[in-house]
Amino acid sequence: MELGFPRLMVRLASSDDFGMQEAALGVTVILRNAKINMFKGSMRLTVDKWGCVEVTEPAIFSIKVDNNLSLV
């Protein structure tokens, strides 16, 4: 699963562990205790065992899909 931010996109390393399998396109989430790990030269966003992913109120911003840092 890829997450979009106003200035970039990044891949979530393990979406099944944190209840993200039901997340749909356009859902706004809050990530707690998340960090970036490098994997084979690309970035992966991971949430540690104390972290959580929460669905929240929709945010209004445009995602810069041409700046996907997981593909670097």
Give the pLDDT of residue 16: 55
pLDDT in tens, 2-41: 666 666 667 777 655 555 555 566 777 778 888 888 888 8
For the entire predicted model, the pTM comes to 0.57
Q: How far apart are CA 48 and CA 5, in angstroms?
A: 20
Backbone phi and psi for residue 58, each to the nearest 5 degrees, phi listed first:
-60, 140
pLDDT at 14 (0 to 100) = 63
What's the pLDDT score for residue 48?
A: 78
Domain boundaries along the sequence of the chain? 2-60
Q: 33 vs 46, 50, 51, 66, 67, CA distance in Å?
A: 9, 7, 5, 26, 23
Q: What is the pLDDT of residues 32-57, one digit of tens each?
A: 888 888 888 877 888 877 888 788 88
**44, burial (CB in 10 Å: exposed 0-12, middle 13-18, buried 19+):** middle
